[in-house]
A and B are shown apart, each in its own frame.
Chain A
């Protein structure tokens, strides 16, 4: 008897030995009972015969990232979403309020505070005038402060939303709301919805890539690019801009690509067995992710390497090769979009300017943050424009909420630095690119910049418009979960026609 036969014999014996009376009884209950139940449960459903485990699996389930056509001809085929985590102050950047100067240092009128709750402001705070110098720019005459000198040269490419409002005033929930349409955990992010609806264009890259900068990930954690109740294959793939873009993607020494292939094939076939046994769709997601990771090995190192970009481009963006920087991420975003990624989500942390420290202040920290993004954002718009990608790429810029016209008085004390508290009644976002008007401004706030007076836009409205530009009717784009269809916009959302070209 040779070695192999001996092993097989041992395996069979071991299997028999493991099959105890308990197993037999348990199998009787679960499997014989299951046999009896099966026709009752699935017998009448069409398609039940197609697969052995009685689940209705569509081609989409088996190949979840394959491309799908959108319901309507889209204006944009990719999105770059620049999220300034921490919430930048609209009053220092875009929403020019000369009236505030007059009231600077004076107590805030009671009427603004009545029945209101703020994250940190207590009692009656003082008004804080704009800490920036504003001027009108471009043919559109858009107001932009001297915090963003480069950006102010491209305002004619952009549509401003000046009276966006949210009902959340803490970072985590507000970020979740902005990215998933709900301040509570469990909903898919915009990028997941888009990838679910359209699949991925470049089969060697994920459809939804996330890049972070500013030293930290958003307060709400990875759920802001999570897939919620959608299969997890649609969640955002976070890539690092420093070091290996994706950890453990490079093969270690001695591992050839063929060997890697056979490893993945072995793992996947074992996963397929497991899927046949349990029918958990998450197993399918795992199989797909292994395959994607294998294919990504070819494309990702090339796409994620900004060193090959010519010097003039590096200079345009102000990249810092080898470091984690927003500029690097902007350049990567363009490269990814060029390579057919549907949704590139950038998070830049550090915009929470309460005035409790120099870094977190309106007059110093915010200037520093603006300096970090001003050139890269402008470069991104120009670079997309010169390559003709701006025609088919939607760029969205914004935070999770805005900031108060009042100076923060945490614990009733005046802070050492100038700062503003969280505020969701009115803040500014902008969009540019595919399907967006050039040089438009929508939304009017009151003289204090406290609340929107006209042309207010909700987070749902923004989501509805984003989906519209990607070719979806936000009211029809649903996923059935827990017995009801879910939408990104829940039961709200209206298109912002005034900024749609």
Chain B
């Protein structure tokens, strides 16, 4: 029955809304209550009792959630104390309103206090689940800084591949690195070590242990030296439990200090080598398989496909795309295509090597819009209909080893949008340096020379 406690705990998010609503309503009644006819006094105690009851349930469930769900005391302590205070004040008000004959000013003040308590508790509770910056996040940046909200680590430094030489060393590279790694603790509003790293003035001024920049001497400069101390060292920055800067970022800071820690120089005029820069170039990572909104295949249909002899598997757990192979289905023929036709939109990797297929299969597979890898090694393919594969626009790798394809057929695929490479090992195709094709041809037939050293007996 151990599960009952955590289960009850999990109702906390449900319960908490009841006291918020009911107690808010109760307080509202207190303030709207007039004399005689408009007096809500008879119902006010009930409202407070009801609110207090659900506040109590919330308190208990909240405590159970804290005990069972791994929240630390530090994160929830104020929320918990305020929550139980709400329970206490609500009960107190219930008792007070039962005794009273009149809505007094003191009671109004106490009700107002309960309202504040309620809002604060609710807000803190929301912060625990949604994060401290839940509300501030959506504010415009100008308003954020006006309100003095700590801007949590900005984006990591990125540099363009072209004309990076003209970017200012300090403003364009060093300050962004500091913004990303340091200023959450070293900004005007949170001056850890009395150090402000949000501006060049702050950098030049240094912190409580003095200057942090000694021009041309990174080892003496705290800004660099502390970064490369062993993580366990007390002086190491950022503190070892925080995210550490990348090696390349540290190197760039070092180079900046070496170049004189100037605020004016550009990356080019400081003669920063490209090797220090290239790590920051924007990487456009295009996924190998095309992005798709195709629906996933139900596990039952997949099992049915496997029973027919195919190897069939999703590219990855979250991907609707399939890798299908006839590795255990050597008798696969062109007519067997109808077994796969309902998976047309999902097939991204298709291996028909060593099967009985002929050129006719190319017609069928060319309609696969997500097909990325196609293997038809070791099959009776002459290549007459290969040109149709231009329709399979996402095709990147085409395997036609040990087939009868010819270069003329392959040339028709020239200009295919995504095709990277065609493997034509053990075919009649031979490459001619004059043929400029939009894709690579791998003809293989590698040989290793016989070397004198191969036969020496050592």
Contact = CB atoms under 8 A, between A and B. Distances in A.
B448 A382 contact: yes
A382 B287 CA distance: 26
Q: Which of A67, A153, A388 has the most CB of B within 10 A?
A: A388
B315 interface: yes
Given A71-B317, A340-B311, A371-B456, A316 B425 contact: no
Given A201-B327, A388-B421, A72 B451 contact: no
B327 A388 contact: no
A70 interface: yes
B432 interface: no
Nearest to A200: B311
B221 interface: no
A478 interface: no
A156 interface: no
Given A201-B327, A388-B421, A150 B448 contact: yes
Interface string B55-79: 0000000000000000000000000
B447 interface: yes
Interface string B294-313: 00000000000010000111
B146 interface: no
Interface string A145-167: 01001100100000000000000
Given A73-B289, A364-B458, A379-B448, A388 B315 contact: no
A311 to B, nearest CB: 12
A368 interface: yes
Contacts of A382: 444, 446, 448
Interface string B387-420: 0000000000101010000000000000000000
Contact of A387 (B312, B425, B453): B425
A73 B325 contact: no
A385 interface: yes
Contacts of B287: 73
Contacts, number: 98
Given A68-B313, A201-B311, A391-B397, A316 B448 contact: yes
Interface in A379-425: 379, 382-383, 385-388, 391
A340 B399 CA distance: 16
A115 interface: no
A146 B287 CA distance: 40
B100 interface: no
Interface residues of A, number: 41
A71 to B, nearest CB: 5
Contacts of A375: 448, 454
Interface in B368-383: 375, 377
A493 interface: no
Given A72-B316, A73-B287, A340-B327, A388 B442 contact: yes
Given A70-B316, A73-B316, A150 B451 contact: yes
Interface string A46-88: 0000000000000000000011111111110000000000000
Contacts of A387: 377, 401, 423, 425, 444
A467 B280 CA distance: 26
A339 B353 CA distance: 10
Contacts of A339: 327
A378 B397 CA distance: 24
A367 interface: yes
A69 B316 contact: yes
A73 B288 contact: yes
B328 interface: yes
A interface secondary structure, majority: loop
Interface in B414-439: 421, 423, 425
B284 interface: no
A68 B311 CA distance: 11
A368 to B, nearest CB: 4
A365 interface: yes
Contacts of A289: none
A413 to B, nearest CB: 24
A202 interface: yes
Nearest to B299: A59
A71 B316 contact: yes
A345 interface: no
A204 B375 CA distance: 20
Nearest to B246: A497
Contacts of A146: 453
B300 to A, nearest CB: 12
Interface in A123-176: 146, 149-150, 153
A388 B378 CA distance: 13
A271 interface: no
B314 interface: yes
Contacts of B421: 388, 391
B425 A73 contact: no
Interface in A420-472: 471
B319 interface: yes
A110 interface: no
Nearest to B420: A391
A291 B3 CA distance: 42
B208 interface: no
Nearest to B447: A316
A368 B458 contact: yes
B293 interface: no
A386 B458 contact: no
Contacts of A150: 448, 451
Interface in A286-328: 312, 315-316, 318
A202 B446 contact: no
B445 interface: yes
A201 B325 contact: yes
Nearest to A378: B448
A371 B454 contact: yes
Contacts of A149: 451, 453
Given A202-B311, A471-B316, 19 more contacts: A69-B314, A69-B319, A70-B316, A72-B317, A73-B315, A73-B319, A74-B316, A202-B328, A203-B311, A340-B311, A364-B458, A365-B458, A368-B457, A382-B446, A386-B443, A387-B377, A387-B401, A388-B399, A388-B401
CB-based closest 7 A-B pairs: A386-B444, A388-B423, A69-B314, A382-B446, A367-B458, A368-B458, A386-B425
14 contacts: A44-B3, A67-B312, A69-B319, A72-B316, A201-B325, A201-B327, A203-B311, A318-B454, A365-B458, A371-B454, A371-B456, A371-B458, A382-B444, A382-B448
Interface of A: 44, 66-75, 146, 149-150, 153, 201-204, 312, 315-316, 318, 339-340, 364-365, 367-368, 371, 375, 378-379, 382-383, 385-388, 391, 471
